[in-house]
Every structure is written in structure tokens, then in C-alpha cells.
Amino acid sequence: MIVDGVPPGMKITKEIIQAELDKRKPGVGKLNSPRKETDQCEVFAGLGQDGVTTGAPLGIMIYNVDTQKVHIDQYRDYKDLFRPGHATYPFFLKYGDSQDWCGAGRSSGRESVTRVAAGAVAKHILAREGIDVIAYTVQCMDIKAKEVSYDEAKRNYRKNEINCPDLEAAQKMEERVMEIKKEGDTAGGIIELRIHNIPGGLGEPVFDKLSATLSHAIMGIGAVKGVEFGVGFKCGNMKGSEFNDQPYLTDKGKIRFKTNNCGGTLGGLSIGEDIVMRIAVKPTPTVSVKQKTVNMKTMKEEKLDPVTRRDPTLLARIYVVAEAMAACAVLDALYLAKAYDGLAKLDEKWMKLKEND
């Protein structure tokens, strides 16, 4: 991957990037695909002789090391079959017989490793500005976690395989996933994402609302089927007086809000409260349950019972992909806001209100 827009003079090591990659790599734990990819990264461009960024784009390479003939042959056996839940059918419509049938091609979750590497760089830059991006599981199938604060989510971050900060619910979730795995099936769920300590005024009021660019980034992840901010769809059953977040003045003369029903944005701009998103994650589409399908070569109906490596749930790895995409979107918005502020030259009182604590 190529990461453009990296400031010069930053100490970004491959260890910083590797720490993020290790969160999503397969072959670790009972909830992940058995594929043994080490996901070791190499930074081949953008760092000077003293190990700091030069301002040129960062080039990062990650090699696949667990591509075996037996697995390729498994995909070859049903390459003409439309796999339910996969992108096979629209890929046939777009690419015909030339589509990449091995491992789902560009729609494979394998593609997300590059996003995580780029997101690691974005998160490192945001951390310098005091901004933290964190995501975690809040629901798996019918099991829901209790509501948690940012501090509790941070305290219990990655304390279990499914990365749920409600430790009691996490155990139930993992047990449920294993039950479903024994059935040859897979489990869906919901990830919550928080962007903490974000300054106000990021985003644009119409076409590039911060909520819109974040949605665009998150919906670009293959397994995501929906997003909501703040109370989300619950607002459809609320009065305006119930939904509106009422402001108050802090001892430091800053404006904060008693609630965060809006999820951290108003009018497309950040307000200084946490950006709170929830992300619907579909179950892994490859299952060992026989399903009806169509052979795209013979145009006859068949039954599909694939044998491939897969995650029994995507929740244990997709959260870091969501963090990465959100970090990239927020960093872009921060760059634009800093440039705008430099030219707008607003009164100092507005600039002070924008600053995060």
C-alpha cells in the first residue's frame, strides 16, 4: 500500500504498524480463520536514513505466506458457482470469466490487511494530536453487551478474543459463536466505534459531512451492511426535546453536552464530543451448510457445500479494520480543517472553543 500525506520528521517504525496488523491477522485463537498468515510488514519507502518520515509517501509491503495449492484447488472446484453471500454473481456481470475466483479476489477479507497498515499510520498521527480511535464488539447474534463509557472500553480493550468490553457478555458471545461453528455456520454482530477527544469544527456542512465521509469509509469494508451514529434509528421514536443534546458551560469556559444522542456531529461538523458509530457486520458468507445456487457456466441450478478456511465470526478481527478506516477519514478531515483555519483567520475565541481538552 502507498500512504500519502504523512508529515515529515515522525518516528513511524514498522513495529508501530505491526502492532495493528497483529490485531487482525488470521490463525490466532478459536474465533479466527485457521489460515496461517504472519502479516509481517516492510516499509520500503518514505523513511530517511535516520528512520523518520521524509514527507514522501510511505510504501508498505505485506507478503502472503500461506497460499497452498490444495486451497487454490478447492476454489477451482467451484469457481463457476455463484457462492451465496459472496460477490461472485456481480463480479461475473462486471468481469465475466476473467474475474479473480481464487479466495474471492478483491472482495476477500484478505484485502483489508492493507487498510489496517495505512490506518496504523493515520492512528499514529492522530495520537500526536490527542485523538484516539477505538472499536469493540457490542453485540453478537442475540447477545448484547451493556453500555460502556470510553474509559471502560479502553480499560477492557482486547481482553478477550471477541474484543467485547463487557467481560461477562464476551464469554457468552464466544460460547455462542462456537455453538454456531459446530453447526457449520457463522455468526454476525455489531461493532461500536468511538473517536475520542476529537476537536470541534471538522467536516463540511453539505456534501462532505464528517458523518458522510466516515460512513463512506466504513461502508467500504466488505462485510459492513449498515452504520448509525449516536442513538441511530432509535431517534425515529423520540421527540425533539428528547433527542436534542443540551449544551452547558464547563469551568474552563468550554461548551459540552449533557447527552450525545447525535453521536458527535451536528450539521455535518464535529462538536467536540466523542464520535459514536455502530456498525452492522454480516456473518461470514462461506458456510458448510448446503445452499442452492447457480452454475454460471452451465446456467443450471446446483447445490454448494464448500470446503475452505473461514472465520466463524468476523467480529474478532474486523474491529481494527473499522478503526483504520475511521482514522484515515478523520485525519483527512483534520488536514482540511487545519488548512481552512489557516486561511479563515477567525476570531481567537472561536479557535479556543474548537480545541480539544
Mean per-residue pLDDT for 171-184?
Answer: 95
pLDDT(309) > 70:
no
Give pTM, 2 decimals: 0.92
Q: Which range (55-69, 165-179, 238-252, 270-284) has the least confidence? A: 55-69
* Strands annotated E in 131-250: 132-140, 143-144, 189-196, 224-229, 247-249
- For residue 172, what pLDDT band results from cuts at 50, 70 and 90? very high
Q: Region 271-297: what's the mean pLDDT?
A: 92
* pLDDT above 90 for 6: yes
Q: For 229, which DSSP code? A: E
Q: Which of 112, 142, 122, 136 is nearest to 223 (CA)?
A: 112
Higher pLDDT, 159 or 310: 159
State how far Cα 348 lies from the chain centre. Answer: 36
Output the pLDDT for position 85: 85
Confidence of residue 259 (pLDDT cuts 50, 70, 90): very high
The Cβ-side half-sphere exposure at 2, using a 13 Å CA radius, reads 4
**Tens digits of residue pLDDT in 119-141:** 999 999 999 999 999 999 999 99
Higher pLDDT, 16 or 84: 16
User: What percent of the chain has pLDDT above 70?
Assistant: 97
pLDDT of residue 243: 97
* The residue count for the chain: 357
Q: Can you give the pLDDT at residue 197?
A: 96
Written as nine digits, the cell of 99 is 474475474
CA–CA gap between residue 340 and residue 314 (Å, rounded): 39
Domains of the chain plus CATH, in order, are 2-354 (3.60.150.10)
Per-chain mean pLDDT for the chain? 91
Mean pLDDT, to the nearest integer, of 231-252?
A: 96
pLDDT of residue 76: 76
Q: What is the pLDDT of residue 319?
A: 97
Which tens digit of pLDDT belongs to each residue from 191-209?
999 999 999 999 999 999 9
What average pLDDT does this structure show over 219-246? 96
Confidence of residue 34 (pLDDT cuts 50, 70, 90): low
User: Where is pLDDT greater, at 309 or 283?
Assistant: 283
- Predicted confidence at residue 174, as pLDDT, reads 96
Nearest to 174 by CA among 186, 161, 191, 165: 161
Query: Do 106 and 113 meet the contact criterion of CB atoms below 8 Å apart?
Result: no
pLDDT at 282 over 80: yes
What would you report as the CA-atom Rg of the chain, rounded to the nearest whole angstrom?
A: 22
pLDDT, residue 325, reads 98
Is 263 a residue whose pLDDT tops 80? Answer: yes
Tell me if 111 sits within 8 A of 129, measured CB to CB.
Answer: no
Q: What value does the mean pLDDT take over residues 82-88?
A: 84
Beta bridge partners of residue 186, listed in sequence order: none
pLDDT digits (tens, 9 = 90+) for 38-65: 889 999 999 998 889 999 999 999 998 8
- Tell me the one-letter amino acid at 182: K
